[in-house]
Amino acid sequence: MSKFLLLAFVCTLTALHNAKGLEALAGDINDSNDGTNYAYRLPDSTEPVSYDLQITPDIENRSFHGQVDIVVKAKQYTTEVILNSKDLILTSAPWFQDMKTNRSMAIKDYAFDDRREQLVVKLERSILPSRLYKFTVAFSGILRDDYIGFHKYFYDSGNYSRWIALTQFKPIYARRAFPCYDEPKFKTPYTISIARLNQHSALSNMPLKNSEIHPEDGWMWDHFKTTKPIPTYLVAFMVSDFDRNYKNGDNIAMHTRKEYIEDTTYMMGKAPNLLRGVEKFTRIPYMLPKLDLVGVPLLNAYSMENWGLNSYEEFYVTLSKDSQTEDKIQGSMTVLHEILHQWFGNMVTTPWWDHAWFNEGMCNYLNYYITSIIEPEWDMDESFVENVHQYALSWDEYDDTHPLTFAVSTPNDIENAFDIITIDKSAAIFRMLKCVVGEEIFRTSVNKYLNDFAMPSLLNKLVHYCYRYMEAEPKDLWQTFDYVLYDANYVIEDGVTVVNYMNSWTEQPGYPVITVRSTSNGSIVASQKRFSVSYPSLGTDDEKWLVGLTYTTETEMDFDELTPTVWLKPTDDHAILKVPENFGWIIVNIQSTGFYRVNYDEKNWKLLLIQLITNPDRIHVLNRAQIIDDAYHLCRAELVPYDYYTSLLEYLLMEDHVMPWNTAINGLSSIMDAIRRYPTEYSKFKKYTQGLAGILYDKLSENRMQNATTKIGWSRLLTWTCKMGNPRCAQSASRHFDAWMKGHQIPSEMEEATLCAGMKKGNVAALSKIYKLYKTTRSPSQKEIILRALACSNNVQSHFSQLNLIRLDNADNGTLQSFKTICDNLVTTPAGVRGLADYMAQLLNSIQSSSILDNLQKYIAVAYAALAPKVATDDELFVMEMIKPSGINIHINITTTKIHQTIESNLLWMERDHEKIMRAIKM
C-alpha cells in the first residue's frame, strides 16, 4: 500500500509540475491578451494518454489506410471531442468506449472543420472528468507528393525505379497522416505497427518488437516497441528497400539506398563521436535504445530530428574522407544539429510554436560550440560570427521585423514561423548569454534544466507508467540560470537577472545601436537606441534593452575578456565606461559577442582607421570584421558618412585574413545590387570595386591569405575577384577550364571561378560537360557552385530547361528547399536576376491556370524573396509586380507584401544615397 501511495504522489507531482492553473486554462478558450487566436488550438477538455497506430502504405494506388486507437482522458464534462485532421477520409464511423465499464459511447455526429483542420466528434451524452475512453477511427489518405505528412518518393536505382514512403510531421503535418492531437504540448506514448511487402523493411522511432505475416493478404506487419511520451511532430515511420550500415555493439545505424550504403562509412565513423559530444556536454546519456540515421534523396527540409529516427538528404550522410572539406563540415553539422534535438526539443519540448526559436536557437549555437571542440581546426567561432551573427543582424534591422517570441495561431502562421530570426538570431542570443554568465555556469544551468524537466531519475525508477519528459518554456531555462547563479553566489550586476535580461532580448523586435562618445569632461559614455535601416523609418525610440557591454582600449589590448563589465539598462540615459588615461582608441563589443552594433565619435573612428592601416593584427579578427560590418550598416542608417566606410576599406590592403574581406564584400555587393538602377554610378562603383578585387587577387595568388585548412573562404573570395572582371583571375580560370575539358582536375579553390569561366564561353561542349556534372554529382557544395556558375552566363534562361531546374507548372520536380537553393544562387549576378525574373514572368500564365496553385504560391514566394533584395531596374521591378503572389494564399500575400516593402526601402535608400556614395569613392 505504501508503494502505491508513493507512486500516486509521484504522478501527482508530475501533474502539478505541468499544470497551468485554472486561470490559464480559462484563458485557453478565447483570444488572449497577446493577440493569440485560440480558435485554431484544441480545447482543453480532453487529452491523449496513448496511441496505438496501425498503417498500411499502398504504393500502387498512391494511398494509405489505417486505424488509430487513442486512449483519451476527459478533463471536464463535455459532449465534444475535438482532434486535428486534414485531407483524411474516415472509412468507418469513429466510436468511443468507456475503458472502465467497456460500454460504447453513442456518437451523435462528426464533421471536419477544414479551416481549423479539426475533426469534431459530438457525443450523445457527456463524458466524465478523469475517466479514460478509447477513441477508435479507421481512415485513409493519399500518399502525398509534396514531401510533407506521409508521402512517397520515387527515385532511379540503376535500371529500376524504386520508391520510399516516409513521414515529415514537423510542425503540423501528422494530422495529414492520422487523426491526432497535433500540438506539441501533448506528449504521448505511441505503439506503431506498419504493414509492408516482404522485400521491403520498415523503420520507426523505436526498435522492432516483432514481425508477423497477415494470414489473409500475406503482408508483413512490423510491430515496434512503445515510444516514450512524444509529441505528434516527432512520430516517424518509413517503408523502403534501403540497406543498413552499423557497427556491432553500437546503437547508431545508417540507412540509405543500396548503391550508396558503402558511402555512409565516413559519417558512420563520425556519428558516435557527435553523439558522445552531446552526452558529454549535457551530462545526460542518450535516452533511447537506438538512433537510426536515414539518408533519402529529397526532403522538405535538409534534415529532421524525429526521435530515434533522424532523416537527412542523402548527401549529408554519404561522404568520404576525400570529400571536400566544406561538404564534410556541412555533413557533420547537419547530423549533429538533429542529434542535439534529441535533448533540446525531443526530451524537453516547448508547448506551443510561439517559442519555436527556443530549441532551434539552442541547437544552432551548440552545433557550432560542440563542433569547435571536436574539430578545432575548422575555426567555428569565426564561422559563427560570419554566417550566423552578422547574418541575423542584417535580417533584424528593419522596422517590420518580429520578436523571437511572437504569437502564432493559424496553420500558416506555424508553417512560416521558422525564419532567420527564429534560427540565427536565437543562436546569437544564446552565445551572448554564455558570455554573460561564463562557460561553466552556462553548462551547469543547461544540464540542470534538462534534468529538471526530464524528471529526476529516482522518480522515473519508482513510477514507470507515469514517466514522461516534460514541456518547458524559455522562462523555465532563465529561472534555472538564476537558481544556479544564486547557489554559486554569482551576481551578474545589481538588478540584473537572467530572466529580465533574456526577456528584453526575446520579447521585443530588433536590437540597439550603442553610441560611444567622449564628453567635454573627458569621460566615455555609451547610450542606446533601436537600430534601423528602414527608409522611411516607421519605428519609434521606445525599445530599450538590457545591454552588457564589453570593451578594451589601445593601451589594454584585452580581447579575451568576454564577460560584460558595464551594464546599460533600459532606464539609463547612458553608462560610463572606465578607461585609463591616454587610452588611445576604444573598441566595444569584444569578438562580436553582443547582439548590437556600435557607433563611435569622429575621433575614435579615425584612431581605429589609423590602427587598421598601420597594424591591423593588433585588433582581434572578429572585431576587424565587426568594424567593417557596423560601418556599412551605420552608413545605410545615416548615422555615419560613407567616407568612414570607404576609408576603412582602404585598410584591406593590409588585411590577410579571409573573414574581414568576406564581410567587406557583403557590403560592397549590396551596394552593387542597388546602384544598378543608376547606370553611370554603377559603372563607376564597379570600377572602384574592381580595384579592391585586384588587391585581393594579388593576396590570393601569392598565398598570403590566412584561413582555416578548409580554404572555403579563400575559394569564395577568388570567385568574387573573377566575377568582378579581374583579368588575371579570368585568364587563370579560363586555362583551368580548358584543362578540365581535357580531363584534368580543377583545384578546389578555383572550381567555382573555373566553371563560371566555362559558362561564359557558352559553347555546346563546355555546357554539356557542366550539365553532366550537375546531374551526376552528389556533393551539395558542388551543386551550389554549378548553380552560381550558371548565373555567370549571359543568357541564363537558355540553361533552365537543360538543367531542368524550374518547372513551376508542375511543382513535383523537387522540394521547396531545393528550389530556394536554386533561386538564391541564381541571383548572385545581374544576369541571373534578369534571367530568373524573366523566366518567372514567362511561366505566369501556366502557373495561374495550374490545378496546384496553392502549393505553387509558396514556390513563387520563394523566388520573389530571392529576387527582392537584388532587383533595381524598372523592367525588373515591373516583372516583380507581375509575379507578386496575391489572393489565393493570404499568408503568402502578407509575406510578399513585407518583402515588397523591403524593395521600396532599398529603392529609396539608393535614391537618397547614390550621390553620397560616389563622393565617398571620389569617382
Over residues 697-744, the pLDDT tens digits come to 999 888 777 655 456 777 888 889 998 999 999 999 999 999 999 999
pLDDT at residue 463, as a whole number: 42
Inter-residue contact 121 to 157 (CB < 8 Å)? no
Higher pLDDT, 886 or 346: 346
**487 lies in the same domain as 530:** no
- Angle of helix 727-741 relative to helix 764-776, nearest 10 degrees, comes to 80
Q: What is the CATH number of the domain that holds 235?
A: 2.60.40.1730
Number of domains in the chain: 3
Q: What is the mean pLDDT of residues 55-74?
A: 95
Higher pLDDT, 155 or 290: 290
For residue 811, being part of any structural domain is answered with no
Confidence of residue 331 (pLDDT cuts 50, 70, 90): very high
Higher pLDDT, 856 or 831: 831
User: Quick one: which of 803, 805, 821, 802 has its CA closest to 813?
Assistant: 805
Confidence of residue 854 (pLDDT cuts 50, 70, 90): low
Higher pLDDT, 768 or 564: 564
Q: What is the mean pLDDT of residues 666-692?
A: 95
Q: What is the mean pLDDT of residues 227-256?
A: 93
The residue with cell 585609463 is 580
- What lies within 8 Å, CB to CB, of 753 at 6+ separation is 718, 719, 721, 722, 723, 729, 732, 733, 736
Domain edge (last residue) among 506, 532, 562 = 506
Residue ranges at the known binding site for Zn(2+)? 337, 341, 360
Inter-residue contact 222 to 177 (CB < 8 Å)? no
Domain edge (last residue) among 506, 540, 575 = 506
For residue 372, being part of any structural domain is answered with yes
Q: pLDDT > 70: what percent of the chain? A: 87
Inter-residue contact 445 to 480 (CB < 8 Å)? yes
Paired sense of beta strands 190-196 and 46-58, if any: parallel
Residue type, 380: M
Burial pattern 797-823, b for ≥16 Cβ within 10 A else e, equals eebbeebebbbbeebeebbbebbbbbb
Q: How far apart are CA 526 and CA 56, in angstroms?
A: 65
pLDDT at residue 211, as a whole number: 96
Is the pLDDT score of 32 beyond 50?
Answer: no
- What lies within 8 Å, CB to CB, of 630 at 6+ separation is 597, 598, 599
Rounded alpha-carbon distances, angstroms, from residue 457 to 9, 190, 466, 468: 16, 22, 13, 11
Confidence of residue 17 (pLDDT cuts 50, 70, 90): very low
**357 lies in the same domain as 229:** no
Over residues 433-446, the pLDDT tens digits come to 999 999 999 999 99
pLDDT at residue 301, as a whole number: 67
For residue 788, being part of any structural domain is answered with no
Strand partners, 524: 518, 577
Q: How far apart are CA 149 and CA 415, in angstroms?
A: 13
**44 lies in the same domain as 192:** yes
**What are the start-end ranges of the H helices in 702-761?**
712-723, 727-741, 751-761
Confidence of residue 520 (pLDDT cuts 50, 70, 90): confident
Over residues 907-923, the pLDDT tens digits come to 999 999 999 999 999 87
Instruction: Round the average pLDDT of the chain to a whole number and report it.
Output: 87
Q: What is the mean pLDDT of residues 608-628?
A: 97
- Angle of helix 642-650 relative to helix 602-614, nearest 10 degrees, comes to 20
Q: What is the mean pLDDT of residues 636-648?
A: 96
Over residues 101-138, the pLDDT tens digits come to 999 988 999 999 999 999 999 999 999 999 999 999 99
For residue 583, being part of any structural domain is answered with yes
Q: How far apart are CA 500 and CA 524, in angstroms?
A: 26
Burial class (CB in 10 A: 0-12, 13-18, 19+), 169: buried
Over residues 576-589, the pLDDT tens digits come to 999 999 999 999 99
**383 lies in the same domain as 464:** yes
Q: Is the peptide bond before 171 cis (omega within 30 degrees of 0)?
A: yes
Active site residue 338: yes
**569 lies in the same domain as 447:** no
pLDDT at residue 297, as a whole number: 82
Q: What is the CATH number of the domain that holds 528?
A: 2.60.40.1910
Q: What is the mean pLDDT of residues 399-425?
A: 89
Q: What is the CATH number of the domain that holds 357?
A: 1.10.390.10
**488 lies in the same domain as 546:** no
Over residues 491-501, the pLDDT tens digits come to 999 999 999 99
Domain edge (last residue) among 186, 221, 241 = 241
Inter-residue contact 883 to 844 (CB < 8 Å)? yes
For residue 485, being part of any structural domain is answered with yes
**417 lies in the same domain as 482:** yes
For residue 824, being part of any structural domain is answered with no
Domain that holds residue 421: 353-506
Q: How far apart are CA 507 and CA 436, in angstroms?
A: 19
Higher pLDDT, 416 or 885: 416
For residue 584, being part of any structural domain is answered with yes
Which grid coordinates belong to 221? 506487419
Burial class (CB in 10 A: 0-12, 13-18, 19+), 684: middle
**54 lies in the same domain as 172:** yes
Higher pLDDT, 35 or 609: 609
Higher pLDDT, 529 or 793: 529
Over residues 893-909, the pLDDT tens digits come to 445 566 777 788 889 99
User: Quick one: which of 139, 136, 7 has its CA closest to 72?
Assistant: 136
**561 lies in the same domain as 648:** yes
- Angle of helix 712-723 relative to helix 751-761, nearest 10 degrees, comes to 30
**66 lies in the same domain as 179:** yes
Higher pLDDT, 695 or 807: 695
- Angle of helix 780-790 relative to helix 816-826, nearest 10 degrees, comes to 50
pLDDT at residue 15, as a whole number: 33
- In the set 326, 338, 397, 471, the catalytic residue is 338
**425 lies in the same domain as 523:** no
For residue 288, being part of any structural domain is answered with no
Rounded alpha-carbon distances, angstroms, from residue 40 to 28, 83, 594: 11, 11, 37
pLDDT at residue 895, as a whole number: 56
**164 lies in the same domain as 220:** yes
Over residues 430-476, the pLDDT tens digits come to 999 999 999 999 999 999 999 999 864 434 444 443 445 788 999 99
